[in-house]
Chain A
Amino acid sequence: MLRDELDELKRKFINELKQISDSEALEALRIKYMGKKGLVTLLLKGMGDLPPEERPAAGQAVNGLKEELAALLDNEERRIKAAERQRRLEAETIDVTMPGKRPVIGKRHPLSIVRRQIEDIFIGMGFEIADGPEVEYDYYNFEALNIPKDHPSRDLQDTFYITDNIVLRTQTSPVQIRVMESHKPPIRIIAPGRVYRSDEVDATHSPIFHQMEGLVVDHGITMGDLKGVLDVFAKALYGEDTRTKFRPHYFPFTEPSAEVDVTCAWCHGQGCRICGYSGWIEVLGAGMVHPNVLRTVGINPDEYSGFAFGLGLDRLTMLKYGIDDMRLLFENDYRFLKQF
């Protein structure tokens, strides 16, 4: 009887299926039963030998078996695949605590990082960036800044001379003059750059260091504006809880002049080693542009006013990162540079 034959075939299939544990054997089983010359296929092909009236029922029965076996095969295939995937995942388990493979990337110099940060703060307040030559005329570095040849404050800045009239700029302030000569107010610039003073090298001195100048000239600029702008700057650089303190001081090219302290970023004003236990750190000099300076560049001080400031980039960088020796900024040791 066909029915018995089918049952027997199914029983054999299930027995064989039970033995199988990998997808290759499963495929072989599929071919044995369902392939072109498979046992089930042969049965279907044998239909032609049956009397026509039996064919529909027999066909239905064989097809039923075929579907049943196919379903069992698919089911088993999913199970085996899952098991195989599981084995692979287990085999592929790695020690995630082993070291990572790092791409080689370079870093900006810490001075450059801090300069860019500060530039961005001032750009946010509508400043543009100006520059000027490092080898500069005495006129721009001193005279136009209200520091005539015999001025005692020249003694405070040990100047390197190339000729009697050409110096290594001792400050970024000459950029103020160059900008005011070539631009009409309103002016709002910063000018970062290298400056030179004849200091011997030690942990806090270098004959070459970096400043950033700021200059604003317009109608109605006040000392309040100077305080406001520097306040925004200090908070942006060192955090919202930073306070500034303006102390009277003297610079030949500003009047009134001020030295500006900010609360120490390390101790938040509590007093620590970095700030000499004062809670304050002197970071810049500033003031209202001296009327003589405005007159020198042909700007009428009765009509315009302005403020200027100069900050020490090396010092700000050292404070920001807690660097205790200025020489490191010029040594370019890989072990130093990779830290930023």
Chain B
Amino acid sequence: MKVPLSWLKDFVDIDVSLEDFVDRMTMSGSKVETVEQIGGEINNVVVGRIIERRKHPNADRLQVCQVDIGNSIVQIVTAADNIETGDYIPVALHGADLVGGIKIKRGKLRGEVSEGMMCSGKELGLTEEDYPGAETYGILILDKPYELGADIKKVLGLEETVVDFEITPNRPDCLSIMGIGREAAATFKKPFNALDPVVKEGSEMVETAASITVECPQLCPRYAARIITNVKIGPSPKWMRDRLKAAGIRPINNVVDITNYVMLECGQPMHAFDLNRLEQHKIVVRTAHDGELFETLDGVQRRLDSDMLVITDGMNPVAVAGVMGGANSEISDDTCTVLLESANFNKVSVRNTSRKLGLRTEASSRFEKGLDPELVMLALNRAAELFNMLEAGTPMQGVIDVYSVKPEQRVIQTDAASINALLGTAIAADEMKAMLIPLGFEVGCNDSRMSVKVPSFRQDVVEMADLAEEVARFYGYDRIKPTLMKSGISVGRRNVKQQLMEYIKDVLTACGLYEVNTYSFTGYRQLKQAGIKMDESFKPVTIKNALGEDQSLMRPTLIPSMLEVLVRNINRGVDSFGVFETAPVFLANELPLITLPQQPMRLAIGLYGNTDFFTLKGIIETILEALAIKGIYFSPVQCDGFHPGRTAEVGFGTAVAGVMGEVHPDVLDNFDVEKRIYIAELDLDTLLDNGTLDRTYVALPKFPAVQRDIAITVPKHALARDIENVIKKSGGKLIEDVKLFDVYEGSQIPEGYKSVAYSIIYRASDRTLTDQEVDKLQERIIKALGEQIGAQLRG
């Protein structure tokens, strides 16, 4: 809400500095967004009077003038020919700034010194309507003998300070100069000068000229009108146009300007109809017919429906109620009788209509927040008063007022103690009363009991907490003492899952991985690019009003985002990189969605560069070990988007934890990258549910271990996991550890075979093992490997 300060001063006397004004208004709840100085670009231009004028000795078309600027006389050379000795004119002195960033400097013109320049209207930003003569060629001749040397901005009213307030949706009353004025009066403890319009009416009765019928009073609790006769359309005066422009509204003509002026001043949107263009000289407020067509003022054909409220002339719509008027009843240059509407419309109805039509106006944005029906008459009378003042027309006698639904008078019963208990303050009831009264509340105090009558324009104030806010605002939020909760100690901590989550992230960063943060959106293109097949079982969670095709789905997997991050870094020249992300994925239970989709947490890991499958596998083993999860397995698996021979399902016990592997070369082609990429996506909830931070100490061994290495040839496709299992099973519980340390294929090894070498560590907890014992176990292991794997001991 842009508030020109000169206008605000009609309502309250402001005698503090601008800085103080801004600060204190903000601290009492009217937040200042910006302050704009209009006319600020004009500088050092003063009133002067031409006391002598002669021809330039060296130039036919120039004149040399002596100009009195009050404290001195300066010589100005000009090419203008509309000036006479004795004229009062604006003089831009040395160093002056004019509109459009023009700077004026002292200089010589054909040998004659010129101390500055006389200004045209245009150079001061004036139009013909602002100041008669402004657009005439030449110098702006001032209409009166103003004080010589006076600042031209003050003389011409070019100076205005406009304060833009952020008005929250609960305060439609503050979408007006008057409302801000009331807040300012309460803030600075000054009297509030309420509007009290006096209307000079004609003799004819308004009822003779028009009638009003409201068919749906719930949607239109009040509809009032005045009729203005003998209307003379023309521009409104400069002061009004200046105020409108400063507040951000374009002046049009005196009638439209009056309606806009009243809307800004009182917060009540108004509309002016050309009475003679209303077919039956009447107003009927009804809902529209489905499919009814109507051309609004902006020249757009609108298709209406039966939920929308329209103003009609008994036949056809002439306005969409509270939103916009129609082209068919618009004020024109030959309008001579005006029907002025001041009405109250249901906020939900206006909001829905405005949204459906995609048409937001100054009027609709006020109505949809809920306006005070009591405001209707004040605004109507103020408008009539302005018609008198501007001599723009004559109000007929009386008002037509259909006031069907009056708001109930709200009274809040409370006490100072409750308010103080909520705020943590000790403010006396009398003090509260003194804060509430300037805001329009009527307060009855009985000891500490308070009975508070809420003014009709404060529909947002319903109960004690609302009054507490009013009190707090004017007591000062900054005066409320900071305290800490008096209630007992509570235990703040992360729960086990949250601790495990933090631990996993710490372990992953210790593994050299960077945590990333990607969008939850994806699209069919990205899923396809990642090699994910979308068959009938694919149930996407789709955003109805997505920002674009590529951001239209809530991701069902983290893999496409992970690929995007890795590819972006590859393309930016990062040689080797490893990242992880923890985030939910979104899986619909049914389509269309009735219940919330499942939103399980996933952990994705991605690597490229100086790395391979087994690096990724090692990282996963490290995480599972950190979570103390036992019985981990990795088995070959086929998975969309992964290399068919380099992908494993990860699990433990009977639980499947996810998938890991090398990205399919087709997918890499889709991204146009050559580096191999390794990705895992694990179900974080499964990991967290099965993980623990509990540990039990195991005594350090007292007896030495024995290490034996064996090298065997086995069929090429024998799995390391199977070999290890055979070793462990046949070797029994004296085996402490089995480590694969070499795999070899090539010469010396028969076709279809490979050589593998293991270190086997034996240890007994109660004695030193003898060579004979270990030899026996080794023999048993080699025999079992031969029988079960087809292994042969290498010589």
* Interface set of A (CB-CB < 8 Å, partner B): 103-109, 111-112, 116, 119, 122-129, 133-137, 150-153, 155-156, 160-163, 166, 168, 186, 188, 194, 196, 198, 200, 207-208, 216, 218-225, 227-229, 231-232, 245-250, 252, 255-259, 288, 290-291, 301, 305, 329-335, 337-338
Contact = CB atoms under 8 A, between A and B. Distances in A.
Given A224-B424, A288-B465, A107 B515 contact: yes
A169 B519 CA distance: 15
Contact of B596 (A136, A186, A248, A334): A136
A156 B543 contact: no
Contact of A220 (B26, B29, B421, B572): B421
Contacts of A200: 547
A186 B569 contact: no
A111 B584 CA distance: 17
A293 B513 CA distance: 43
Interface string B42-63: 0000000000000000000000
Contacts of A231: 482
B31 A249 contact: yes
Contacts of A166: 593, 596
A116 B506 CA distance: 12
Contact of B586 (A128, A135, A301): A135
Given A135-B597, A247-B477, A225 B579 contact: no
Nearest to B31: A247
Contacts of B492: 122-128, 188
A162 B572 CA distance: 35
B510 interface: yes
B478 A329 contact: no
B232 interface: no
Interface in B541-556: 541-547, 551, 554
Contacts of B494: 119, 123, 129
Contact of A129 (B170, B486, B498, B512): B498
B577 interface: yes
Given A332-B568, A333-B568, A227 B482 contact: yes
6 contacts: A137-B596, A161-B543, A186-B487, A207-B521, A333-B572, A334-B569
- Tell me the interface secondary structure of chain A in the complex: mixed
Contact of A250 (B168, B422, B468): B168
Contact of A222 (B483, B511, B516, B569): B483
A105 B424 contact: no
Contact of A135 (B352, B517, B579, B599): B599
B188 to A, nearest CB: 16
B520 A222 contact: no
Interface in B444-481: 463-466, 468-469, 472-473, 477-478, 480-481
A329 B568 CA distance: 14
B623 to A, nearest CB: 13
Residue among B489, B515, B521 facing the most chain A CB atoms (10 A cut-off): B515
A135 B484 contact: no
B523 to A, nearest CB: 14
Contact of B473 (A108, A111, A216, A248): A248
Q: Which 4 residue pairs across A and B have the least CB separation, nearest first? A: A224-B424, A222-B424, A250-B168, A248-B29
A301 B348 CA distance: 28
Contact of B484 (A107, A108, A186, A228): A228
B170 A250 contact: yes
B783 interface: no
A179 to B, nearest CB: 13
